[in-house]
Structure 1
Amino acid sequence: MQAGYAVVRRRAQWWLALVVMTFMQALLAQPAPRAATAATTKTVLVMGDSLSAGYGLGPNEGWVPLTAARIAREKPGWKVVNASISGETSAGGASRIGAQLQRLKPAVVVIELGANDGLRGLPLDQTRANLEKMITASQAAGARVLLLGMQMPPNLGRTYTEGFASLYSALARQYHTAFVPFFLQPIAGDRANFQADNLHPTTEVQPQIRDFVWPALAPLLK
């Protein structure tokens, strides 16, 4: 009787060992969990034109990648996605913003658009409506917005140039966005700061643009 009991006990111990071994093997086969920081990474989405896409510059030379590098150093847990396109108008940005918000779910949206509207002399009401759509869509998605304003050269006429500049400030006030009235301000006064086309800033001044935008952007990275 005792011998039979010993056999049963040994079998039970064997089965228990087998179950524990199987469980450990299954546990070790599971993929390692991602680092906690990866799960909490927040996104800054930049929607701009060639000024933000880095026209005529190397891939890491524009003010946006320079800002991304600064964020990586000073604001861990954040990343930058540059969705800027050379030649983009405010209408193009307005048509793309929904898909970008849905795909990336950004916590911050930087809007740098309108320069190509102004250079083409497009109606101010049209530009304002497009920028307004981008702002409201971003805010409805839970993102904080930084609006980067632009100014036009005086040859377009005083009425147009003043109206163009003021539409940015009006939108920033109405929707309580972070705001830079003219984001090329620190470099706009010197022709040497621009490429041969006299429209796009050179590589050398991109850090100045980054540093000019930073005080408005940094408080949003929270």
Structure 2
Amino acid sequence: MLLAGVGQAQPARAPVPQAATTRTVLVMGDSLSAAYGMPASQGWVALTADRIAREHPGWRVVNASISGETSAGGAARIIDELLRHRPAVVVIELGSNDALRGLPLRQLRRNLGYMIGAAHHIGAEVLLVGMRMPPNLGAEYTRNFERTFRWLAELFDVRLLPFLLQPIAGDRDAFQADNLHPTPAAQPRLRDHVWPALEPLLD
């Protein structure tokens, strides 16, 4: 009786619907990306996530940015974040706190290079977001800090946004009282500045 159906034609089964695949943009940044001094929903990363949801369904944004983060902190966290979220795109916005502390640029290069390499290892695309600093630590340090991002982008062949704060750098009213962090009103300008560099990676 148990073998009665063996060898007989079985009714066709309807294919099991496949769950839609959601791809992830992972943002690894410092206070500039962590929406310092405002609700997270007002920051440029959250505004970018809203735009992605409208214009590129099937993508989501995970903001793993931490205020005060250095490149060493990002390098220490990158593997866990990659394994947790399996992103298709990684945005790296780190380095400002290294410069504010006068840390050696060779450490910045090593840490950011490690993060880019880790992202590439899992097949993720990378957008490297650069910064510029006032010449408090000397003109040579300032020049080499800016060049570090271009050098890494060329070495690893990744997309580069040279200066996150470019559209607001000369506008004092766009910054909070500390003159370091952009205001909520400035966040849409940062979103629109990042967008042309990020959107091609969402194809």
- Is 1:152–2:149 an aligned residue pair? no
| Counterpart in the other structure of 1:118 | 99
Cα shift readout 1:151-197 (whole Å, capped 9, x = no counterpart): 11122210000000000000001111111000110001111110001
Q: Please list the CA deviations of residues 27-73 of structure 1 after superposition, one character each: whole Å capped at 9, or x if unmatched.
A: xxxxxx88733xx1000000000000000011210000000000000
Identity %: 65
Which residue in 2 is equivalent to 1:212? 193
Structure 2 unmatched runs, 5+: 1-15
Count, aligned residues: 188
Structure 2 length-normalised TM = 0.90
Pick from 144, 148, 153 the counterpart of residue 172 of structure 1: 153
Question: What residue number does 2:63 align with?
Answer: 82
Query: Which amino acid is 1:186 matched to?
Result: P
2:108 to 102, 121, 127: 127
Q: Which residue of 2 aligns with 1:65?
A: 46
The one-letter code matched in structure 2 to 1:216 is A
Alignment correspondent of 1:25: none
Residue 51 (str. 1) matches residue 9 (str. 2): no
CA distance in 2, matches of 1:66, 1:121: 31
SS in structure 2 of the partner of residue 55 of structure 1: coil
Instruction: Trace 1:12-31 onto structure 2 (pairs within 5 A).
Output: none
| Secondary structure of residue in 2 paired with 1:106 | coil
The CA deviation string for residues 57-96 of structure 1, in whole angstroms up to 9 with x for no partner, is 1121000000000000000000000000000000000000
Superposed CA deviations along residues 121-154 of structure 1, whole A, max 9, x for unmatched, are: 0000001100000000000111000000011112
Q: Which residue of 1 aligns with 2:77?
A: 96
Normalised to the residue count of structure 1, the TM-score between the two structures is 0.83
- Cα distance in 2 for residues equivalent to 1:207 and 1:35: 36
State the distance in 2 between where 1:169 and 1:200 align: 23
CA gap of 1:34–1:87, structure 2 versus 1, over 3 A, is farther
Task: For 2:122 and 2:152, locate their aligned partners in 1 and report how far apart those are by CA, in whole Å.
Answer: 18
- Which structure has the larger Rg over C-alpha atoms? 1
**Stretches of 4+ moved more than 6 A in 1?**
none
Unaligned stretches of 5+ in structure 1? 1-32
**Cα distance in 1 between the residues matched to 2:172 and 2:111:** 30
Matched with 1:41 is 22
Q: CA RMSD in A?
A: 1.1
Structure with the higher helix share, 1 or 2: 1
